[in-house]
Amino acid sequence: MPQSPIMKHLTLLTLPLLVAAAPAPLDKRQMTGMTGKMGGAGAAFSILTGLWQVPAGNPQVPLSTKALVADIDTKAKRELLLWGPFILPAKNATHGRGVGIKLDPNSDAFGAKLSGLCKDCTVLFAEADIANKDGSRADVGTGIYTHHIIMVDYGRKMIDNPVLPHCGTTGATGISPTTAQWLQNNLMPKASVFIGGGGSGGSGGQFAVKGSDVKSGFHIAEKDSMLFTTELVNYDNWDKEIYLRLDYEYLTGKPQGYLDVGIGAIDVDGCTASLEFHPPSDRAITIKSPVWEVIADGYLVRITPHLHDGGVDAKIFLNGEHVCTSNAIYGTSEGTREIDGKKWETISGYTPCSNAIKIKKGDRLTMTSDYDLTKYTL
Ligand SMILES: *[C@@H]1O[C@H](CO)[C@@H](O)[C@H](O)[C@H]1NC(C)=O
């Protein structure tokens, strides 16, 4: 390892799997049916190529750039960029294969190259949302469901997860971690996920812990280029003009002492052996992960789970000691919509782990996740 890798977003996405993205037909929001359709190496390939697919055309120039007040570091710049419009076809239109990862038959997937982001800069915070023309978030409240938004920095080498992978040769992708690693190193262009996530809580998050002695950020080099892909569902029978918004904060250059951050994901079942997930409807359950062996020194920054509706929290343990809890936040006005007179609440966000967790080679990492469908109906 050339430098201390830092891992964040324990359950977001990494090279092989974006699968955490919740599926979304309104009446069927769990992962049902996906294993059958998506299982095997074909799925893995489609996810891999989807993740690295470069949308055609020239980079999109931001429609607007608005200065905001820095939050994490007073020396930083914070901006709200808006790109678009992009057309999201009507619900009753034909939903063909698009650019990027598409897991839902009712969705549309598309993307673009983006310009307007900082160059040779260290990003402390970045959050992307699908937005309306005025910059407000477009969400289930406005009849749009965001499966995921992915932004990839082309030219930046990916920082590997600092834990030993668990799966053997099986798992939903049908490929082994070593094969995935080989694909990444030999076939895939040098690229790092900058933002990845979905649901109605926005995508992305912080690469730094505010106020911490541990200084970290995501470095974008001068020569790097940025692109995004997204998978969206339109709940209305009319086309919609939608926009991509990015709220981000950065320092110029790469200030001394700052550690570079990589985004990684590990799945609570160890290797996503099954995407099908059916928590019982009549009682709460706790899902326990296997034990991961830490293989690099560094810090875990801003661990944020990706839970499915019904999820309560995710707890992280280091060498058996409880080091953080992240709770799901349900149903803000943006994450709520009436469907056939029934209130439909989705997870709208998470309380992230707010401290930098020091890890070193040989440590053991585990997590648990509580689900309770008696509290949160699907
Ligand atoms: C979709 O629904 C709208 C509104 O009901 C209708 O005007 C339109 O023709 C429909 N389009 C298709 C392709 O069925």
* Residue 323, both tokens: 């080091």
For the ranges 48-52, 310-314, 351-355, the one whose mean pLDDT is highest = 310-314
Average pLDDT, the chain: 77
Characterize the bridge pairing of strands 240-252 and 357-359.
unpaired
What is the CA(147)–ligand 1 centre distance, in A? 24
In eight-state DSSP terms, residue 165 is -
Give residue 169 CA to ligand 1 midpoint distance, Å. Answer: 46
Span 161-172, pLDDT tens digits: 788 877 654 344
Predicted local confidence at residue 14, as pLDDT: 30
Ligand 1 pocket at CB < 6 A: 90, 92-93, 237
Q: What is the pLDDT of residue 31?
A: 30
The pLDDT value recorded for residue 333 is: 53
Q: Kindly report, residue by residue over 13-70, the tens digit of the pLDDT.
A: 332 223 223 322 222 233 322 222 333 334 444 455 566 667 778 899 999 999 999 9
For residue 12, what pLDDT is reported?
A: 31
Ligand 1, atom 14: closest residue by C-alpha? 92
Q: Which of 92, 94, 235 to mutate to test the pocket of ligand 1 (most atoms within 8 A of CB)?
A: 92
Residues near 203 by Cβ (< 8 Å), separated by ≥ 6? Answer: 127, 128, 129, 146, 148, 149, 150, 195, 196, 197
Identify the DSSP state of 11.
B
Q: Which atom of ligand 1 is nearest to the CA of 91?
A: 1
Closest residue CA from atom 6 of ligand 1: 237
Residue nearest to ligand 1 atom 2, measured at CA: 237
Nearest CA to ligand 1 atom 8: 237
pLDDT of residue 310: 83
Whole-number Å distance, alpha carbon 99 to ligand 1 midpoint, is 24
Q: What is the mean pLDDT of residues 70-80?
A: 96
The answer to whether the beta carbons of residues 152 and 226 sit under 8 Å apart is: yes
Q: Give the Cα separation of 223 and 191 in Å (integer).
A: 12
pLDDT at 308: 76
pLDDT tens digit sequence for 247-256: 999 999 999 9
Answer whether residue 6 shows pLDDT above 50: no
Residue 331 pLDDT class (50, 70, 90 cuts): confident
92 Cα nearest atom in ligand 1: 1
CA 138 – ligand 1 centroid, Å: 22
What sections of 67-157 are H helices per DSSP? none
How far apart are alpha carbons 272 and 365 in whole angstroms?
17
Q: Are 350 and 327 in contact (CB under 8 A)?
A: yes
The Cα 261–Cα 124 span in angstroms is: 10
Quick: pLDDT tens for 136-159.
Answer: 988 777 899 888 898 999 999 878
pLDDT value of residue 5: 34
Q: Is 52 helix (H, G, I), strand (E, B) or coil?
A: helix
pLDDT band at 8 (very low <50, low <70, confident <90, very high): very low
Ligand 1 atom nearest to CA at 94? 13
Q: How far is the CA of 375 from the centre of ligand 1 (A)?
A: 37
Average pLDDT score over residue span 300-306: 82
User: Distance from the CA of 92 to the center of ligand 1, in angstroms?
Assistant: 6
Residue 335 carries which DSSP code?
A: G
**Ligand 1 centroid – CA 229 distance (Å):** 26
What is the Cα–Cα distance from 346 to 330, expressed in whole angstroms? 6
Q: How far apart are the first and last CA of the chain?
A: 43
Distance between Cα 237 and ligand 1 center (Å): 6
DSSP 201: G
Q: How remote is the C-alpha of 365 from its chain's centroid? A: 21
Instruction: Sheet containing 191-197: give its strands across.
Output: 108-114, 225-234, 144-154, 191-197
Among candidate residues 48, 62, 300, the one with its CA nearest the CA of residue 152: 48
Side-chain half-sphere exposure of 300, counting CA atoms within 13 A: 29
Task: Indicate which residue's Cα is closest to atom 13 of ligand 1.
Answer: 93
**Rounded CA separation 14/351 (Å):** 21
Q: How far is the centre of ligand 1, averaged over its atoms, from the C-alpha of 88 (Å)?
A: 14
| Pocket test residue of 108, 234, 235, 237 for ligand 1, highest count of atoms within 8 A of CB | 237
Q: Which residue in 301, 305, 302 sits closest to 314, CA to CA?
A: 305
Reported confidence tier of residue 378, pLDDT bands at 50, 70, 90:
low
Write the single-letter amino acid at 255. Answer: P
Q: What is the mean pLDDT of residues 9-13?
A: 31
Among the ranges 49-58, 105-114, 315-324, which has the highest mean pLDDT value? 315-324
| Residue with the two structure tokens 């509290």 | 375
Spatial separation of the C-alpha atoms in residues 152 and 114, rounded to whole Å: 10
Under a CB-based contact definition with an 8 Å cutoff, are residues 296 and 344 in contact?
no
| Nearest atom, ligand 1, residue 93 CA | 13
Average pLDDT for 104-108: 84
Cα separations (Å) of 368 from 133, 316, 329, 345?
A: 40, 7, 17, 23
Does residue 9 register a pLDDT over 50? no
d(CA 62, CA 251): 20
Three-class SS state of 37: helix
Domain spans of the chain, in order of start: 6-267
How confident is the model at residue 198, as a pLDDT?
64
| Residues 153, 230: Cα–Cα separation, whole Å | 15
Q: Considering the entire predicted model, what is its pTM?
A: 0.78
pLDDT for 177-216, tens place per residue? 566 666 666 666 788 889 887 655 567 778 998 999 999 9
Does position 375 have pLDDT exceeding 90, yes or no?
no
Q: What are the counts of helices (DSSP H) followed by strands (DSSP E) for the chain?
A: 3, 22
